[in-house]
Amino acid sequence: MFSLIDLLVLIIFYGHSFCQDLVLRFLKRAASNLQQPFKVIVPSRKLPPHDRRRILAKQLADFVHIYNKETDQMDLRRKMDQKLGNHSKDKENQGAVKEERFGQFTTIAR
């Protein structure tokens, strides 16, 4: 079974420019959800295909690194709040994904 990241890497390296454009769209949208600023650089179409792929792969790897770091920080914060008995955010989290489902998602996505 492939994770989302595996599929994106396959698209970057073996896909056509249309597929690479989809990866760029994904990065732009996903980057806006990060807490840390992440600027997505669109490689010039004048570059050779292998250079475009390399740039996209590097940006995707950087995004995944930041995403994993932020996810780990959120998880740690949530666990500390639970240990300390801080339930002030319970109302904020209504309708949110349950912790175990979120953990399954992040495990698969990595």
pLDDT, tens only, 30-43: 999 999 999 999 99
Q: What torsion, rounded to 10 degrees, do the Cα atoms 60, 62, 68, 69 define? A: -160
pLDDT at 64 over 70: yes
Task: Kindly list the domain boundaries of the chain, sorted by start residue.
Answer: 4-109
- With a pLDDT cut of 90, the percent of the chain lying above it is 25
Of the two residues 108 and 20, the one the predictor is more confident about is 20
- Above 70 in pLDDT, residue 24? yes
pLDDT at position 23, please?
Answer: 83
CA 32 to centroid of chain Cα atoms:
10
CB atoms within 10 A of CB 76: 10
Q: How crowded is the C-beta side of 49, counted as CA atoms within 13 Å?
A: 10
d(CA 66, CA 71) in angstroms, rounded, equals 8
Cα separation, 33 vs 63, in Å, equals 11
